Each structure stands twice: as C-alpha cells, then as structure tokens.
Structure 1
Amino acid sequence: MSTPPDSEEFYKKLKGQLLDTALWPSEYLYKFIVVTDKEKIIKIEDIFNYLGAVIETKESKNGKYTSVSINVTMKNPDAVISKYKEVAEKIEGVISL
C-alpha cells in the first residue's frame, strides 16, 4: 500500500471491508516489506510498541528485503488505518500488503 494514487478512497474501501468482516476489537495482521535495513525495521516495530503486538521478521532469499508481520489486537477499523498511515509517513519505501 505504498500510498495508492487515491489513498483516501482506498482507506474508505478498506474501512468498509474491515467493518463487514470482523467484530471489533479484533486481531489484525499487518504485513510490510522494506529494504533490509535494521533502522527501518526498528522504526516499524516502534510504531507498534506497547500494543502487545507479536512481531515476526523474515529476510528474502537473497537478503535484499525483509517482511515484517505484526499480529495485534486493534480497537476498530479507524485504529487499523491510522497505523497504516503512520507507517507510510514514517518509513520511506515501505510496501504494505
């Protein structure tokens, strides 16, 4: 989700899907891909710090990229979207899945 051209429309659609598919609060799985850079990975982890998140990282086969999976209980779809926006703002080149 390296912010799509019409990001507000994207987030509006995502919010609708989240409202339709889960009862809130609910566990949510975030997945991000970044160039393997310890600093960027730590920044992503820090954004979810103190939320009781379970964070797993896995380097690609050639080590160029790292996927960061974060499983965390979120209050509502707005909280989910807020974290996506925060990651996109703070970490350059992040890809959200």
Structure 2
Amino acid sequence: MKEKENTEEFYKKLEGQLYDTASWPSEYLYKFIVKTENNQMPKISSIFDNTGAVIKNIESKNGKYTSVSIRVIMKDPEAVITKYKEVAEKVEGVISL
C-alpha cells in the first residue's frame, strides 16, 4: 500500500510541476527503458498510436536494454500522467524516466 501512496504522491507533484513549467497543450518528451529481450517496445508504441507521437528507440551498447523516447503533443498534465500510468500498467519491467 505504501508504494501506491508514493506513486500517487509522485504523480501529484509531477502534475503541479508540469502546470508551473509549460503552457498547455504542449509537446512532452517521455523516456522509458525496457529490457530488449522482452520485446516491450511494440507495447509502448501501441499506447501512443494515433497521437502523432514521434518514437525513437536506441539500444544500449551491450544490447541488453532499449531506450524509448516519445515526443508528443499532450493537452494537459493529466493526459501526460494518464499515459505514464497506462505504460506502467501494460508494459512489464518498464522504467519511466
């Protein structure tokens, strides 16, 4: 239960920071890291289907991990957080940066 509280607290803080630092709608850069062998990149891409997102994948030097960068116009901080939560829920082992 404590982890869920910490996560919600993190998202609440992020929402405030996003409102303070940008005017909305605005371009937002998501960054995720996933294990390459689990082939999770298509799952992340599908979450951003039909949003006009530009997605860039970069494999680590040893090929163990893949960095996924996504640039997309989001309407407000709540929409940003909704996508973070959706990725966390649907993509196993993802690290959000």
TM-score by length of 2: 0.93
In the TM superposition, what is the alpha-carbon distance from 1:37 to its structure 2 partner?
A: 3.7
Corresponding residue of 1:79: 79
Question: What is the Cα deviation at residue 39 of structure 1?
Answer: 3.5
What secondary structure sits across from 1:30 in the alignment? strand
Cα-Cα RMSD = 1.3
Counterpart Cα distance in 2 of 1:70 and 1:64: 20
Q: Which amino acid aligns with 2:63?
A: G
* Distance of 2:79 and 2:37 partners within structure 1: 26
Percent identity, please: 70
C-alpha distance in 1, partners of 2:64/2:39?
Answer: 14
Deviation at 1:38, TM superposition (A): 6.4
SS where residue 40 of structure 2 aligns?
A: helix
Give 5+ residue unaligned stretches, structure 2: none
* TM alignment of 1:1-97, pairs within 5 A: 5=3, 6-37=6-37, 39-97=39-97
How far apart in 1 are the matches of 2:19 and 2:25? 11
- Which consecutive segments of 4 or more residues in structure 1 shift more than 6 A? none
In structure 1, what is the Cα distance between the partners aligned to 2:96 and 2:54? 17
- The structure that is helix-richer by fraction is 2
